[in-house]
């Protein structure tokens, strides 16, 4: 308890000081902590492409590794990067679950399974905090979808809540994470920032978790409700409901003084724990090696007919590379935690050319690599003396007419601008204002050019001084966040001649709001038919094809779920025509979640790469060449049909309720209970090495059981295998796993701990599963050849 602090000081500690910092009380040795968003790295406070930071594989890709030791190293890398960026607390890891393949942020989740998610999350926390950087697990709880996330009410029964959605957070608490971030949504009728049954009754009292509970940004709704619900810290600052309001609530008798003291003590303890000495960031070479290793460890090979992989130029001297994601890869998804990637990140096509040399006969995308919002290759309207010769000149005005001298001007080499009140230098966000982007664009071809513009307010687009588009609608402040990340844009066609240079101006007028955004682009004339024809011709002339398909970063976004599970229709057509032209096709998918793969049988090989971070190119080239193993196993189930998913729709009902009607039978559990075979099973996948398992043995331990199993590498090369243990009652449930890397011919005994809790269910209390219970051991949720009965 911080009894030596005044009520005013304790109240001050319950609210952030700024957008990304906590308040300080130097006299009491309580430092201000700086925070940054995660989990794929250290996101810049300005959401700015110039704030370059290391980009790790997305959690879904790390989940595919099934490797806690590796994930711990990645957490350590991020913790060190936070030190380099002057950050004390990372808002990561994300411990929500991929309940539905439509979830907009599924790429940020480790898995559909709570144990896999929780153990990998705990490993990430341990790695991050080993550097002296705190990890704040998010989003507590049931923020497993984005549709109406700041309004919807997750309706979930007690057993499901505890066994599934709280389990990852319980494991994070055991890992002594710095704190937990409460979600925007409601759970069983209470805002998560006011959910005393979860925060106070379970996390604080039952788990005995001593860390700080903070709101997601702008996620508070009241003073008394937040404090009585167990919230300790409102973010961001300045205070909206807590801070000085906390002191007033105590003085009025609405909140006990002890509750305020507890909140202040938790903030103070976190500040003392993570506001001091730090470790040393990882050097650049070690970081690059780890990011290649981590990407490859998540690559999941689900098909390899005829052993086409690894590709051997002696067998396939002419290899064509086709597909949009070879030149425009999706390194990450489109959240507010998006990382500014180093500009020299090696693209997959570049890495493939470096590794395979003359065997790569050519590259064609086949379809448009930027189907939603293409970039604009522009030059600034004027020289600001910053040495920038690419991009647009951005002027910020304190009025909606763009009159007078701008408050701030800058050159930005991006087609998507985002800025927050209190963070960006413009500082004009809390009143009517405007932003103007201007530059020049030179057409490379003659014909109709589509100019795009989108934003969070009223818009105007001018080409060579002529207004070609105008929308005067201005959004209410509550609508801004959804529009900001949707990436939706309007377009207009302008006829240009090859070599013609035109002045382009995009203007955004907006009312007061906590964040704003403006985005724009241009698409030159081109024929979809000719691109497809070039791809088919390239496939016909090659001995083998590497076909890279997938998503762009605006396919997985914050505040928006997906409408379906399919790849874009033009990419499916590309798969069909390329595979028909050349059956020796290796399909590489760059998708961050479960999706429809009914076309998989058309290709010789299918490799899922998820969102693999900045070293995608190097990792892919090494895996396709056989220099590294594809080490991944599916962290989610890929169903044969959408109707097979236990949960698909994420649309709340008319009352705002989203019913978790699948209960504990989420993902693979539900398919197994319904007797439905998946297209690709949870835990499935293989590398280039082959393995044998001997019959497992069970040993009773003081705190549970241990399964031992001998694993043997029967191939002539090193490789990795994942051994998985499930219980069969009351539904198929993962209870333990181990990953091992073995040299050619090596044998190793794996020891897989099964904690007593893994054999319990919630029935008003934790009770053992009614026996006899079978433990099923094998390589996936449907490949379980060994049985042990307890």
- Residue 169 near residue 141, CB atoms below 8 Å: yes
Run of H or E residues at 72? helix 68-84
List of residues 6+ apart from 181 with CB closer than 8 A: 91, 136, 137, 138, 139, 140, 214, 215, 216
List of residues 6+ apart from 436 with CB closer than 8 A: 394, 395, 397, 402, 406, 505, 506, 507, 508
- Residue 144 near residue 100, CB atoms below 8 Å: yes
Query: Hey, is 321 helix, strand or coil?
Result: strand
Total length of the chain: 790
Tokens of 64: 């595919």
Tell me the residue ranges of DSSP E strands in 414-464. Answer: 416-420, 433-442, 447-455, 458-463
- Residue 231 near residue 193, CB atoms below 8 Å: yes
Run of H or E residues at 126? helix 114-129
Run of H or E residues at 737? strand 733-742
Q: Which of 520, 546, 521, 695 is nearest to 607 (CA)?
A: 546
Q: How far is CA 149 from CA 141, 168, 362, in A?
A: 12, 20, 45
Task: Cite the DSSP H helix spans in 682-755.
Answer: none
Measure the CA angle with vertex 160, ends 683 and 724; round to 5°: 20
Task: Cite the DSSP H helix spans in 322-373.
Answer: 348-356
Distance CA 486, CA 469 (A): 20
- Residue 187 near residue 140, CB atoms below 8 Å: no
Distance CA 143, CA 150 (A): 10
Query: Hey, is 64 helix, strand or coil?
Result: helix
List of residues 6+ apart from 158 with CB closer than 8 A: 762, 764
Catalytic residue among 9, 37, 216, 395: 216
216 given a catalytic annotation: yes
- Residue 780 near residue 633, CB atoms below 8 Å: yes
Distance CA 326, CA 363 (A): 9
Q: Is 764 exposed, middle or buried (0-12, 13-18, 19+ CB in 10 A)?
A: exposed
Tell me the residue ranges of DSSP E strands in 398-432. Answer: 408-412, 416-420
- Residue 88 near residue 136, CB atoms below 8 Å: no
Tokens of 423: 């963070």
Distance CA 201, CA 192 (A): 13
List residues with catalytic annotation. Answer: 216
């Amino acid at each position: 308890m911080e009894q030596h602090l005044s009520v005013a000081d304790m109240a001050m500690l319950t609210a952030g000081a700024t957008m990304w910092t906590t308040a300080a009380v130097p006299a009491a040795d309580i430092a201000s902590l700086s925070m940054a968003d995660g989990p794929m790295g250290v996101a810049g406070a300005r959401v700015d492409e110039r704030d370059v930071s290391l980009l790790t594989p997305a959690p879904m890709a790390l989940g595919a590794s099934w490797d806690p030791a590796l994930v711990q190293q990645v957490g350590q890398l991020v913790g060190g990067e936070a030190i380099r960026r002057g950050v004390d607390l990372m808002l990561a890891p994300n411990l929500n679950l991929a309940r539905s393949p439509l979830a907009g942020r599924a790429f940020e989740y480790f898995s559909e399974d709570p144990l896999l998610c929780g153990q990998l999350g705990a490993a990430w926390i341990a790695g991050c905090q080993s550097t002296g950087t705190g990890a704040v697990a998010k989003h507590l709880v049931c923020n497993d979808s984005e549709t109406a996330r700041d309004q919807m009410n997750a309706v979930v029964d007690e057993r499901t809540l505890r066994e599934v959605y709280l389990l990852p957070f319980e494991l994070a608490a055991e890992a002594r994470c710095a704190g937990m971030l409460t979600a925007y949504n409601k759970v069983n009728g209470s805002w998560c920032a006011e959910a005393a049954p979860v925060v106070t009754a379970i996390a604080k009292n039952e788990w005995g978790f001593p860390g700080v509970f903070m709101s997601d940004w702008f996620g508070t709704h009241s003073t008394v409700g937040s404090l009585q619900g167990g919230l300790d810290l409102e973010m961001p600052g300045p205070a909206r409901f807590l801070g000085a309001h906390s002191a007033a609530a105590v003085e009025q008798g609405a909140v006990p003084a002890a509750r305020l003291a507890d909140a202040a003590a938790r903030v103070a303890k976190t500040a003392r724990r993570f506001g001091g000495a730090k470790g040393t960031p990882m050097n650049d070479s070690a970081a690059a090696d780890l990011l290649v290793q981590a990407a490859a460890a998540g690559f999941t090979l689900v098909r390899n007919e005829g052993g086409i992989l690894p590709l051997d130029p002696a067998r396939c001297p002419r290899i064509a590379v086709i597909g949009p994601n070879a030149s425009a890869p999706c390194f990450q998804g489109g959240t507010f935690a998006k990382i500014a990637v180093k500009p020299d990140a090696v693209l997959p096509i570049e890495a493939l050319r470096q590794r395979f040399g003359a065997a790569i006969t050519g590259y064609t995308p086949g379809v448009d690599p930027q189907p939603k919002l293409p970039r604009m290759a522009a030059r600034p309207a004027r020289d600001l003396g910053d040495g920038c010769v690419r991009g647009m000149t951005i002027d910020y005005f304190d009025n909606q007419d763009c009159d007078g001298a701008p408050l701030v001007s800058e050159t930005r080499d991006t087609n998507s601008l985002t800025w927050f009140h209190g963070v960006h230098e413009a500082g004009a966000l809390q009143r009517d204002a405007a932003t103007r982007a201007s530059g020049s664009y030179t057409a490379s071809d003659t014909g109709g050019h589509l100019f795009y513009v989108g934003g969070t307010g009223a818009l105007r687009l001018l080409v060579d001084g002529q207004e070609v588009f105008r929308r005067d609608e201005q959004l209410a402040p509550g609508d801004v966040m959804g529009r900001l990340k949707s990436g939706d844009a309007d377009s207009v066609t302008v006829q240009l001649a090859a070599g013609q240079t035109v002045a382009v101006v995009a203007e955004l007028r907006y009312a007061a709001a906590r964040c704003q955004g403006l985005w724009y682009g241009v698409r030159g004339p081109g024929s979809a038919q000719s691109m497809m024809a070039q791809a088919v011709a390239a496939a016909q002339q090659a001995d083998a094809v590497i076909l890279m398909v997938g998503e762009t970063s605006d396919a997985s976004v914050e505040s928006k779920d997906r409408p379906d599970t399919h790849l874009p229709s033009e990419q499916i057509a590309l798969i069909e025509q390329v595979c028909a032209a050349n059956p020796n096709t290796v399909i590489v998918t760059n998708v961050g979640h479960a999706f429809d793969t009914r076309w998989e049988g058309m290709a010789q090989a299918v490799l899922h790469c998820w969102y693999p971070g900045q070293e995608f190119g190097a990792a892919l080239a090494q895996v396709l060449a056989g220099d590294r193993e594809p080490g991944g196993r599916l962290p989610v189930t890929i169903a044969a049909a959408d109707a097979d998913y236990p949960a698909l729709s994420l649309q709340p009902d008319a009352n705002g309720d989203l019913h978790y009607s699948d209960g504990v039978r989420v993902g693979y559990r539900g398919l197994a209970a319904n007797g439905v075979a998946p297209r690709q099973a949870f835990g499935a996948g293989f590398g280039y090495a082959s393995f044998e398992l001997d019959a497992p043995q069970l040993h009773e331990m003081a705190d549970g059981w241990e399964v031992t199993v001998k694993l043997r590498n029967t191939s002539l090369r090193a490789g990795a295998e994942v051994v998985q243990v499930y219980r069969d009652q009351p539904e198929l449930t993962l209870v333990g796993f181990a990953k091992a890397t073995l040299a050619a011919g090596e044998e190793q005994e794996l020891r897989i701990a099964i904690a007593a809790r893994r054999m319990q269910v919630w029935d008003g209390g934790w009770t053992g599963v009614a026996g006899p219970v079978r433990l099923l051991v094998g390589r996936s949720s449907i490949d379980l050849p060994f049985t042990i009965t307890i």
